[in-house]
A and B are shown apart, each in its own frame.
Chain A
Amino acid sequence: MHHANHFYGHAQVLARYCDLGELDAPPRMLGYLQHGWNIGDGLAPGTPYVEGAPIFVWSEQTRRRAWSLGRRNVTVVGAPWIYLLALEPEAPDAPPREGTVWYPFHGWEGQEVKGDHRRLIATIKDVEEGPVTVCLYWAEFQTRRIRRLYERAGFRVICHGYRGHWWRQTNPDFLLGQLTELRKHKRVASNRVSSALFYGLAAGCESAVYGDPMVLHAEDPTFGGVARIRRQWPELHGTHVDHAVARAIADDELGTAYLTSPASLRRLFGWEHLHTPAGAGR
């Protein structure tokens, strides 16, 4: 099983949904799970791929794209996020939502974001009316200089944690923490379309995409990058967008309609042997 399946505690969320009980470690999965919103074939660029291994993607559109790129064993299961939402329905007496959670775009550790955080902060202040929570990527959060910039602007600065690497330091509650944060806010915004934006939409936030997209150094141009995303999903871009349209796009991209039953997922992931049917001496 590829270590990326564990990123953000994805494997743990799915194991919980599949009713596998208490486990010492997240179970091995027969294949690759898409670990972030993706405009390619569902695998992160450069993922070493075992020929013929199953790929579990979030959306039907990604599956079609993957097929056109030569991938065959691709199955749509939807994002782990939709399983988390199924496990954690919003409390009916949840406190009223307030303000905006803002995700400045980041790359991963190997990439370096260029761009002007100050200019971005000014734009956010211009647009957002309520309180703003800025969620930084862990590398930026740990960079005091960047963190201070946002704090001084009067924003609440948070970080969802480390996604993990090579099965280590994975925060199994990464997504749960993110969901809790998102549900506190009325809006989710970012300078780029990203997983977090769709997560926010699915968690009931209105969305916005604006500000400097902070293009990465050496961004892989294979799939068209920021310009292509703008062309394909113009409806998501703007300080205030049509919520119904944005929500429908999020549902498509997260594969909300593809929520699979626990028994089916256990078959797909090769987890059947880990499951003890209810009443069978658990």
Chain B
Amino acid sequence: MSPSTTTVPQNLRLIGGEMLVWTDDEPAADRRPASGPALQEVLRDLVRPGGRALVAGPHEQALIGLLADAPMQVTCLVRAYPDAEALARRLPGVTVLCGSVAKLDPSDTYDLVVACDGLDRLPSVEGAALSWAETADLVAAAVRPGGTLLLAQENLLGVHRLVRMSPWYGERTDADWTPLGDYDATRPASPGELVSSLAGRGLTVAEPMAGFPTAHEPSVLAPLDRLADPHLAGFVRIAVSAAYGAQLAGRPVLSDPRALAGSALRAGSAAEFAPVWLVAATRAGALIPRQRVVVADAATVPHPVRYEVVRAEHGWSRHVLGDTALRSRDGVYRDPAALAGPLPRGRLLEEQLIELCLRRDLPELARVLTRYAAWLAEGAGEDGTVGGVSLWASPGDLLLDGDGFTPWDPTWSTTVRAPLDVALARSLRTFAVRLITGGYSHPWPMLVDADSLVVILAGMAGHTLERPVLAAAVDLEARLRAAAHGLDEAGRERLRDRLAAVTPGTPPLDLDSHRELHAANDRLREELAHAVSRVAWAEELLESREKALRHAEDKLDILSGSFSFRLGKLLIYPLRKAKGLAKRLLRR
């Protein structure tokens, strides 16, 4: 597959070191270009209409298109020929360079250099292997005075790496011809090191950002210094958890990244465990981009929204970015406009409930659940049905502030309505499923299924749920989730069956998490051991009761064979006969 002069697009130049049989865009092999609306939002602040931009490394077309539309004069550098060709054909106004970063013309400089994929995929298998520092020298040199470098650096200690099935030093994919990782001593291992190594190259970083949930598609980007604010940090924690759920769904992971990321953020260790650090490094005279948190749903979310969180007069405020049109599907809708306004305060209800379960504080758990059930009832219409946000929001969506509840993401809602007890059962069931499949220690370990746990939780909230309500709750959850995730009829049925069958041995339904799977296996073994010893005990008891019965029967035999028994029977015989005769006569 060698490119000839007739097949190479006009706007594509081979500069040397190009990889002809390779692609950096192969999702099946876990190779993706840097992408996502969050990166687009950050980039939007840095465009210089009329200026020159270099996009170094694999980036999704939307990012490149954003620069070209500014308009900027855009040059892309990619090492894989198929990637370069595809880019050149789709973006004819862009110059595409194919080859190794080492072959970049040092006299060519740019107003904006974008390296959101990091530096690892800039050198090629051809030519000399470059260290991080050598690559950084080349990239930094391309930034002209007054110019800006937007650089993403993957953190090898990031949560996404910690939950990966293989460590970076053991990777065996085609892309890992030299998996040097942090044995490359020049590679910055913290945001601080990244900032100082760029400073050594004449570039100044105002404030590094932490990106979650993955390095190639961060959907939550937060300036590290701002995370010292507990209100903002608390919110980012929730957004990060949701982002992990959305982006890693169904992918094999070692353990639930949500728990890990939550602990990291709670400990104020966003810098240490963020999958990626993003810096806008400027060379004297350049604009410093404004500092804000950007949240943008992953491309896989059917109704994505994006917004920023900025400092407001009193606390923090959200602004919707991009499209604000309401989107709906099968009775579930998302209204981006609902986001605007102050950032809500409070703690996630689900977290609060989990803590109370871990503490075994049943009285307080009952109080919170009763309060929640009352809130749900307040939202019920005259016909006793619940709809809208009240119906949609389960404990993982609600913030508990004092005694009030607010959805942390108010964009989701529904036109579906359900009776109050079904709505309560469905909401508590999502929590029960999380508690069981997440392997959390909780006060009712012996219960065999999610339904039983729902009955207990509802009982604490002062509601008695009957069996048909539980079945209706599963249907409702399957319906809402199928609509939100864009599942078809078969997908919805599968989801319904999986939800209905949650028992202590069930691993998480949303993540293929191996630690939780192991824990689920342990729970199954305990259940089996209990079943075996219960059978043994029942056998033993049966034997002793049989003995007692035999003893009683023997006694009965002895008594019925005795002289006094026979005499008694003989005396009673005529009386019995007479009684029978009297009965017959009376019946006539």
Interface residues of chain A, those whose CB is within 8 Å of chain B, are: 30-31, 48, 50-54, 60, 63-64, 72-73, 75-76, 257-258, 260-264, 267-268, 277
Which one of B362, B460, B530 lies within 8 Å of A50 (CB-CB)? Answer: B530
Contacts of A263 in B (CB 8 A): 455, 458-459, 464-465
Q: Which residue of A lies closest to B528 (CB)?
A: A52
Contacts of A48 in B (CB 8 A): 537
In the complex where A60-B360, A277-B466 touch, is A267 in contact with B530 (Cβ < 8 A)? Answer: no
In the complex where A258-B363, A268-B444 touch, is A53 in contact with B452 (Cβ < 8 A)? Answer: no
Contacts of A277 in B (CB 8 A): 466
CA distance A73 to B527 in the complex (A): 11
How many A-B contacts if CB must be within 8 Å?
Answer: 69
Contacts of B362 in A (CB 8 A): 60, 76, 257-258
CA distance A54 to B444 in the complex (A): 9
Q: Are B363 and A257 in contact (CB under 8 A)?
A: yes
Which one of A72, A73, A76, A261 lies within 8 Å of B462 (CB-CB)? Answer: A261
CA distance A268 to B363 in the complex (A): 17
Q: Are A261 and B445 in contact (CB under 8 A)?
A: no
B172 within 8 A of A: no
Q: Which residue of B lies closest to A78 (CB)?
A: B362
Contacts of A262 in B (CB 8 A): 459, 464
Contacts of A75 in B (CB 8 A): 443-446
Q: Are A53 and B363 in contact (CB under 8 A)?
A: no
* Closest 6 pairs (CB-CB, A-B): A52-B530, A264-B459, A261-B459, A54-B446, A51-B533, A257-B363
CA distance A52 to B533 in the complex (A): 8
Contacts of B460 in A (CB 8 A): 261, 264
Q: Are A73 and B445 in contact (CB under 8 A)?
A: yes
Q: How many chain-B residues does the 8 Å CB contact rule pick out?
A: 26
Q: Annotate B449-465 by CB proximity to A: 1 below 8 A, 0 otherwise.
A: 00010011011101011
In the complex where A263-B464, A267-B447 touch, is A52 in contact with B529 (Cβ < 8 A)? Answer: yes
Contacts of A268 in B (CB 8 A): 444, 446-447, 456
In the complex where A50-B534, A51-B533 touch, is A72 in contact with B363 (Cβ < 8 A)? Answer: no
Q: Which residue of A lies closest to B531 (CB)?
A: A52
Q: Which residue of B lies closest to A258 (CB)?
A: B362
Q: Are B360 and A63 in contact (CB under 8 A)?
A: yes
**Main secondary structure on B side of the interface with A:** helix
Q: Which residue of A lies closest to B452 (CB)?
A: A267
Contacts of B466 in A (CB 8 A): 277
Q: Annotate B469-498 by CB proximity to A: 1 below 8 A, 0 otherwise.
A: 000000000000000000000000000000
Q: Are B446 and A31 in contact (CB under 8 A)?
A: yes
Contacts of B530 in A (CB 8 A): 50-53, 73
Contacts of B452 in A (CB 8 A): 267
Instruction: Output the residue of A31, A53, A72, A263 with the most chain B CB within 10 A.
Output: A263
Contacts of B459 in A (CB 8 A): 260-264, 267
Q: Which residue of A lies closest to B525 (CB)?
A: A52
Contacts of B537 in A (CB 8 A): 48, 50
CA distance A267 to B459 in the complex (A): 10
B193 within 8 A of A: no
Contacts of A258 in B (CB 8 A): 362-363
B526 within 8 A of A: yes
In the complex where A52-B527, A263-B459 touch, is A72 in contact with B464 (Cβ < 8 A)? Answer: no
Contacts of B532 in A (CB 8 A): 51
CA distance A63 to B464 in the complex (A): 26
CA distance A76 to B446 in the complex (A): 12
Q: Are A76 and B360 in contact (CB under 8 A)?
A: yes
Q: How far is the CB of B240 from chain A (nearest CB, A)?
A: 32
Contacts of A64 in B (CB 8 A): 360
Q: Which residue of A lies closest to B527 (CB)?
A: A52
27 contacts between A and B (CB under 8 A): A31-B446, A48-B537, A50-B530, A51-B530, A52-B527, A52-B529, A52-B530, A53-B446, A53-B530, A53-B533, A53-B534, A72-B526, A73-B445, A73-B446, A75-B444, A76-B362, A257-B363, A258-B362, A261-B460, A262-B459, A262-B464, A263-B464, A264-B459, A267-B455, A267-B459, A268-B446, A268-B456
Contacts of A72 in B (CB 8 A): 445, 526
Contacts of A63 in B (CB 8 A): 360
CA distance A52 to B446 in the complex (A): 8
Q: Are B456 and A267 in contact (CB under 8 A)?
A: yes
CA distance A30 to B443 in the complex (A): 16
Instruction: Output the residue of B360, B458, B533 with the most chain A CB within 10 A.
Output: B360
CA distance A104 to B443 in the complex (A): 36
Q: How far is the CB of A52 from chain B (nearest CB, A)?
A: 3
CA distance A92 to B537 in the complex (A): 48
Q: Annotate B506-545 by CB proximity to A: 1 below 8 A, 0 otherwise.
A: 0000000000000000000011011011100100000000
11 new A-B contacts, CB < 8 A, other than A262-B459, A263-B465, A268-B447, are: A50-B534, A52-B529, A60-B360, A73-B530, A75-B446, A76-B362, A257-B363, A258-B363, A264-B455, A267-B456, A277-B466
Q: How far is the CB of A161 from chain B (nearest CB, A)?
A: 23
CA distance A64 to B443 in the complex (A): 11
Contacts of B464 in A (CB 8 A): 261-263
Q: Are B526 and A52 in contact (CB under 8 A)?
A: yes
CA distance A76 to B466 in the complex (A): 23
Residues of chain B in range 246-267 having any CB-CB distance to chain A below 8 Å: none
Q: Which residue of A lies closest to B364 (CB)?
A: A257
CA distance A51 to B455 in the complex (A): 25
CA distance A264 to B455 in the complex (A): 6
Q: How far is the CB of B539 from chain A (nearest CB, A)?
A: 12
CA distance A257 to B533 in the complex (A): 33
Contacts of B360 in A (CB 8 A): 60, 63-64, 76
Q: Which residue of A lies closest to B451 (CB)?
A: A267
CA distance A53 to B363 in the complex (A): 24
CA distance A261 to B465 in the complex (A): 11
Which one of B443, B526, B534 lies within 8 Å of A76 (CB-CB)? Answer: B443
Q: Which residue of B lies closest to A73 (CB)?
A: B446
Residues of chain B in range 103-134 having any CB-CB distance to chain A below 8 Å: none
Contacts of A267 in B (CB 8 A): 447, 452, 455-456, 459
CA distance A60 to B362 in the complex (A): 9
Contacts of B447 in A (CB 8 A): 267-268
Q: Which residue of B lies closest to A54 (CB)?
A: B446
CA distance A267 to B462 in the complex (A): 15
Q: How far is the CB of A111 from chain B (nearest CB, A)?
A: 24
Q: Which residue of B lies closest to A167 (CB)?
A: B545
Q: Annotate B350-366 by CB proximity to A: 1 below 8 A, 0 otherwise.
A: 00000000001011000
CA distance A267 to B444 in the complex (A): 11
CA distance A136 to B459 in the complex (A): 39
Residues of chain B in range 416-450 having any CB-CB distance to chain A below 8 Å: 443-447
Q: How far is the CB of B466 from chain A (nearest CB, A)?
A: 6
Q: Which residue of A lies closest to B458 (CB)?
A: A263
Instruction: Output the residue of A30, A73, A75, A258 with the most chain B CB within 10 A.
Output: A75
Q: Are A50 and B533 in contact (CB under 8 A)?
A: yes
Instruction: Output the residue of B455, B460, B462 with the most chain A CB within 10 A.
Output: B455
Instruction: Output the residue of B446, B526, B537 with the most chain A CB within 10 A.
Output: B446
In the complex where A50-B533, A52-B529 touch, is A264 in contact with B456 (Cβ < 8 A)? Answer: yes
Contacts of B527 in A (CB 8 A): 52
Contacts of A260 in B (CB 8 A): 456, 459
Q: Which residue of B lies closest to A278 (CB)?
A: B464
CA distance A53 to B455 in the complex (A): 20
Q: How far is the CB of A74 from chain B (nearest CB, A)?
A: 8
CA distance A53 to B527 in the complex (A): 9
CA distance A268 to B537 in the complex (A): 20
